[in-house]
Structure 1
């Protein structure tokens, strides 16, 4: 099992719903068998994440790590399987790394309308329940603002 010692993107960019994390020499290292291997950007050097599905898109990208004269060549899919890389990516996406996602105003407005409709329908169901169970206190609480 490999573990990520350090993982800090050298450069990030967001295009539409894709987040690109680009790595350089000192910003990415792993530990294998108690030895630290440093990232070498000879082949793959970026991770592309689809922000809609939160899936890594370039799983075939090959990352190379070096310790002295020894090299480890690992495709990104394998690195995700045999290391704790996904934990580091998750923490970046959850706010440790400051990524701004701007939702289109139409989507936000539609979401708020749907939430309001659901809350309203739920309140009506609760009033019906209060009437069915003859719960006058609940009925009064729910209908207070309706007058």
Structure 2
């Protein structure tokens, strides 16, 4: 049984930290099985949770239910991913959020590096004050160093 996603629009998306929840409702998610269109019905699971850091889907065992008239079929999310093009649709939806997380991580790493460089410079200035015997500058810089280290 091969399926293709006909339409997939989350009813809403919710980002909580590194987790992205895509919540689906009636008429927002449909698949084609054979020549027939089946509509998603939220009787069991209604969301897909994606870890934005690992890019992994976290609720693979959740059951999704689709209906056409009186016919219904249930399929676990992991199987739906194997027998359909669902992953391509999820990647398109999640890409913006993944890039946002990566940008935040890059900015955090850069800020950390800047802080480390500033501390190294402060240590060098303290060493220079010691070498030159500048007690006032040494006291001022060590006080600043204490403040910087306490802030971290």
Shared fold (TM-score greater than 0.5)?
A: yes
Shift of residue 66, structure 1, vs aligned partner: 0.1
Gapped regions of structure 1 (runs ≥ 5): 114-147
Q: TM-score by structure 1 length?
A: 0.69
Please give the alpha-carbon distance, in whole angstroms, between the structure 2 residues aligned to 1:29 and 1:108.
43
Kindly name which structure, 1 or 2, has the bigger radius of gyration based on alpha carbons.
Answer: 2
Structure 1 residue 100, shift from structure 2 partner:
4.5
Question: Match for residue 8 of structure 1?
Answer: 9
CA-atom RMSD in angstroms: 2.4
Evaluate the alpha carbon distance shift between residue 88 and residue 15 of structure 1 in structure 2; reply closer, same or farther with a 3 A threshold.
Answer: same
Cα contact 1:92–1:98 (8 A) shared by 2: no
Q: How many matched pairs?
A: 112
Partners of 2:29 and 2:113 in 1: how far apart? 39
* Match in the other structure for 1:67: 68
Q: Distance between the aligned counterparts of 1:99 and 1:23, measured in 2? A: 23
Partner of 1:76: 77
Secondary structure of 1:26's aligned partner: coil
- Go from structure 1 to structure 2 and tell me whether the alpha carbon gap of 1:84 and 1:112 turns closer, same or farther (over 3 Å shift): farther
Distance apart, 1:20 and its partner CA:
0.2
Instruction: Give the superposition deviation at 1:92.
Output: 1.1
Q: Secondary structure at the match of 1:42?
A: coil
CA deviation after TM superposition for structure 1 residue 11, in Å = 1.0
Q: 1:15 to 1:64 in 2, by over 3 A?
A: same
Cα 1:98–1:109 shift into 2, 3 Å: closer
Query: Which portions of structure 1, spanning 4 or more consecutive aligned residues, are displaced by more than 3 angstroms?
Result: 97-102, 110-113
Listed one character per residue, the Cα deviations across residues 34-93 of structure 1 (whole Å, up to 9, x for unaligned) are: 100000000000000000010000001100000000001000000000000000011112
Unaligned runs of 5+ in 2: 116-152
